[in-house]
Structure 1
C-alpha cells in the first residue's frame, strides 16, 4: 500500500519519541514509500533500530500485562526490576525501560498497534518473537497464577505475532516447567516430567527425538544468533540463562535414560 511506510514510521516514531519521533518516523516512512520496496529495515537503521524497538516494546507490553489484573502489584514491579538488573541496565537505558513500562500501563496504550509495528521491524523472525512472548508469559505468571485478563492479553500478543492458541498453550507449559526447573539448585533433583516439558517432548519419544528436540531449542535460543537477528545486547544474559536451562534439562533426561 502506498502509505504503509509512512504509517508504520509514524507509529513507531510516536511510540518511542512522541511528537518529534513521529515526525522522524514519518520522514523515514516517506523514504521507504519513494524507494518502493527498498526494505523498511534498511530505511530505519536496520539492526540497531530493531534492537531499540525490541527493548522498548518488551517493557511496554510487560507494563500492559502487569496492569491486566486491575493494578500493578509489587511482584510485577519486582519482575520488571529483576529483568532490568539481569540486563544490567543503568542510567538512561534504565530510565527508558522504566518509562516504557509506565507507558504500557496507560489506559490509551494500543497493544495491537504496538505489536504490529514490533512484528514489522523484527521482520517476523521466529526466535525473537518467541523470546518476546516468553518474557510476557513470565510477567503474567509472576504471581504463580494466570487470570482471564492476563490470558486474553497473551492471546492477543500471540495472535498479532503469528502464534495460535495451541502454540501459546505449549509455550505456557514449557515456561512453567522451566520456572520450576530453574528454581531447583540441583538439576538431578528436578522432576523428570519438568525436564521433558521444558524440552517440549513426551517421555515416550526415542533417544533420537530427544536429541533432535534439544538441538532445535539450542539453535533457537543461541545468544549470539539471537543478537545477530536483532536481540538487544543487553538481553544476552536472558538468552544465556534460557540456553543453560535447556542444557540442564537435556542432561537430566540423558541421565534418566542412560544416554551418552
Structure 2
C-alpha cells in the first residue's frame, strides 16, 4: 500500500495528475514485488524465526564435524584418540539425542572415500565469506582435532593447509594459528595436571585430618612468561603495549555472543568460551608478572 501512496504523492508533485497516475502504477508494481519477496521470507513470522541464522548454524555444525572426520582419517584409519576427542568435543557441546547422532553422522560422512573436502570447505567459505572470525574459528577447531593426540602428523598438516587455503587464510596466518594452538594445548595439559594435583592433595588432607589443611601451598599450574606470550601469539620481546593489543584482538575474535550472532551454533559457544578463558588467563599472568 505504501508504494502506491508514495508513488501517487511524488508523481503529483512532479507531474500533476498524469504524474500521479504514473506514480500510482509504479507504486502498485513496487508493492506487489515487495509482497512477493516478503512472502518468500515467511511474512512477518520470517522476521522472528531467524531462518538465515539457523541455516548458517546448521551448515557450520555439519561442515565442522564432516571435516573433523576427514582429518581424523588422514592416516588411513581413525585412531581411538581421535574418536575419543570427537566424543569429548560433543560432550563439551552438550550434544545428546538427535543432535549427537547428527554430529556422528557428519563425522562419519567425512571418513567416506567419496567425501569432497574441497567442495565442503568451498560451500562453507561461500556462506561465511564476510565473517573472518568464524572462518578462523572453524580452522582452529580442525587444528584442535588434528592435535588431539599431542602430535601433528604430516598428512594432517597437509589437510589443514588445504583447508586454510580454501578458506582464504594465508600461510603466515595458518602458521600463527598453529603455533598459538600448540601453546593452548600445552596450557590445558598443565591445567589438567594442576587440578589433578589439587584433587589428590584434597583427598590426602581429608584422609589424614591434618590440622594444616587449607594452609598448604597449592601446586603451580606451570604457566610461565614464554608460554603466556605464545598463547597470545607473541614473541619473547613483546612489549606491554604489544601484549594489550594482542589480548584485545584475540578476545574480540573469540567473543562467544558475537560469533553466535554470525552463525556459530550455540552448542559450540563453549569452544569460544574456553579459548577466551585461556586468553584471559595468559593476559592476567603477564600483567601480574610485569
Q: Which residue of 2 aligns with 1:22?
A: none
Q: Structure 2 stretches of 5 or more lacking a match?
A: 1-36, 38-46, 195-219
Equivalent-residue separation in structure 1 for 2:141 and 2:66 (angstroms)? 12
Q: Which residue of 2 aligns with 1:203?
A: 236
The Cα shift of 1:152 comes to 1.1
The Cα shift of 1:188 comes to 5.5
Q: Which residue of 1 aligns with 2:166?
A: 160
Q: CA RMSD in A?
A: 2.1
1:247 aligns with 2:280: yes
Aligned with 1:137 (options 115, 138, 143): 143
Q: Which residue of 2 aligns with 1:216?
A: 249
Which is greater in Rg? 2
The Cα shift of 1:208 comes to 1.4
Equivalent-residue separation in structure 2 for 1:82 and 1:55 (angstroms)? 16
Q: Which residue of 2 aligns with 1:147?
A: 153
The Cα shift of 1:56 comes to 0.4
The Cα shift of 1:189 comes to 2.5
Q: Secondary structure at the match of 1:48?
A: helix
Asked whether the 8 Å contact 1:79–1:139 carries over to 2, the reply is: yes
Give the TM-score taking structure 2 as reference length: 0.72
The Cα shift of 1:45 comes to 3.7
Equivalent-residue separation in structure 1 for 2:184 and 2:111 (angstroms)? 27
Q: Structure 1 stretches of 5 or more lacking a match?
A: 1-34, 36-41
Equivalent-residue separation in structure 2 for 1:170 and 1:236 (angstroms)? 23
After TM superposition, the runs of 4+ consecutive aligned structure 1 residues lying more than 3 A away are none
Q: Secondary structure at the match of 1:184?
A: helix
| Count of residue pairs brought into register by the alignment | 219
Asked whether the 8 Å contact 1:188–1:252 carries over to 2, the reply is: no
Give the TM-score taking structure 1 as reference length: 0.80
1:232 aligns with 2:265: yes
